[in-house]
């Protein structure tokens, strides 16, 4: 395998996807096309192929915006399908039936290991928000399992919100999770210790502005992204955007050979957090004094 092979295969997959009308697993063409394609991308990245060379090739530059859109649609429809499978059964869902369950679990384990070692996080998160949770909010479920935190799953797509809410109820998460039909840039993050932003969430800069406006000073922000050849599957995050907002990078969960996403963790500078905390406590004292 070399870069030329990856480029040719990506163009071939694109031509197949653009001819489809059903992007769900009910269309066997989708599974037959995307399963080997994702495996090829992982193998190419593992082999150290030059992602910059592949993505800068004119053939890839020409199709990439549409390709990312088609892949996003395929992922959404796959999750809708599996959410339906799990919620239509009278029995508790066996989540291991989902093709990528172990990949999700491994990703969340890598993220948990990363954010638990951040010095400013003196205790495990109590409330976690996940923006762009989708119709199959497995990440939220697994984050709860790993940390015990209450989870708020946020999605602005009404259908995804409904399917995701039904999935969480079927999975026995009703008591420890909340589903919110809202755009990430409008949600109030008060009380959340940790906020995750999904790879496919649009308007990440506006979302971060809203987090900084409404969340506690110590909030930790985890933004999923991709690197290397895996950028064929998702649009990577521009981390400079967060640094320009005064945030500091405090942890990084690198992808491994079996996972696609990496995750950047940001927070306010320590001195700023301490100053905001002092101001908040002073404000509370003044309010009490005038009661």
Residue 285 has pLDDT above 50, yes or no: no
Under the banding of pLDDT at 50, 70 and 90, the label for residue 277 is very low
Q: 41-45 — which CB contacts under 8 Å span 24+ positions?
A: 41/6, 41/229, 41/230, 41/232, 41/233, 41/260, 42/230, 42/257, 42/258, 42/260, 43/1, 44/1, 44/6, 44/229, 45/228, 45/229, 45/230
Residue 117 CB coordination number (10 Å): 11
pLDDT at 121: 62
User: What confidence category does residue 177 fall into, taking pLDDT thresholds of 50, 70 and 90?
Assistant: confident
Alpha helices for 149-248 (secondary structure H): 158-170, 204-214, 240-244
Q: Both tokens of residue 268?
A: 């306010």
Q: Who has greater pLDDT, 259 or 285?
A: 259
Q: At 73, which helix (H) or strand (E)?
A: helix 58-87
pLDDT at 278 over 60: no
Mean pLDDT of 181-207: 92
Residue 286: pLDDT band by 50, 70, 90 thresholds?
very low
Q: Return the pLDDT at 116.
A: 86
User: pTM, whole model, 2 decimals?
Assistant: 0.86
What is residue 272's predicted lDDT score, i.e. its pLDDT? 54
pLDDT digits (tens, 9 = 90+) for 111-139: 999 988 887 666 778 899 999 999 999 99
pLDDT of residue 279: 42
- 150/155 Cα distance (integer angstroms): 17
**pLDDT over 90 for what percent of the chain?**
71
Average per-residue pLDDT for the chain: 89
Sheet holding 127-131, edge to edge: 177-181, 150-155, 127-131, 194-197, 220-225, 262-267, 248-253
């Amino acid at each position: 395998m070399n870069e030329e092979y990856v480029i040719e295969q990506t163009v071939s997959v694109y031509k197949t996807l653009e001819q489809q009308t059903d992007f769900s697993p009910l269309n066997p063409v989708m599974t037959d096309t995307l399963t080997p394609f994702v495996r090829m991308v992982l193998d190419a990245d593992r082999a150290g192929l030059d992602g910059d060379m592949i993505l800068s090739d004119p053939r890839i530059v020409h199709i990439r915006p549409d390709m990312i859109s088609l892949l996003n649609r395929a992922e959404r429809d796959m999750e809708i399908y599996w959410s339906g499978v799990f919620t239509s059964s009278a029995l508790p869902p066996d989540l291991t039936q989902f093709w990528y369950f172990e990949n999700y679990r491994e990703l969340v384990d890598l993220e948990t290991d990363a954010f638990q070692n951040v010095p400013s996080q003196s205790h495990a998160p109590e409330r976690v928000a996940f923006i762009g949770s989708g119709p199959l909010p497995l990440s939220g479920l697994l984050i709860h399992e790993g940390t015990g935190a209450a989870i708020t799953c946020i999605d602005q797509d009404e259908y995804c919100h409904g399917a995701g809410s039904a999935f969480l109820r079927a999975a026995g998460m009703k008591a420890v999770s909340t589903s919110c039909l809202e755009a990430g840039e409008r949600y109030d993050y008060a009380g959340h210790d940790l906020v995750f932003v999904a790879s496919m969430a649009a308007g990440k800069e506006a979302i971060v502005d809203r987090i900084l406006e409404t969340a506690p000073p110590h909030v930790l922000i985890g933004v999923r992204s991709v690197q290397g050849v895996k950028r064929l599957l998702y649009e990577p995050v521009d981390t400079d955007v967060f640094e320009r907002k005064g945030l500091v990078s405090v942890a990084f969960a690198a992808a491994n050979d079996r996972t696609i996403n990496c995750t950047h963790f940001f927070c306010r500078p320590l001195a700023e957090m301490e100053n905001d905390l002092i101001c908040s406590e002073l404000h509370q004292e003044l309010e009490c004094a005038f009661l």
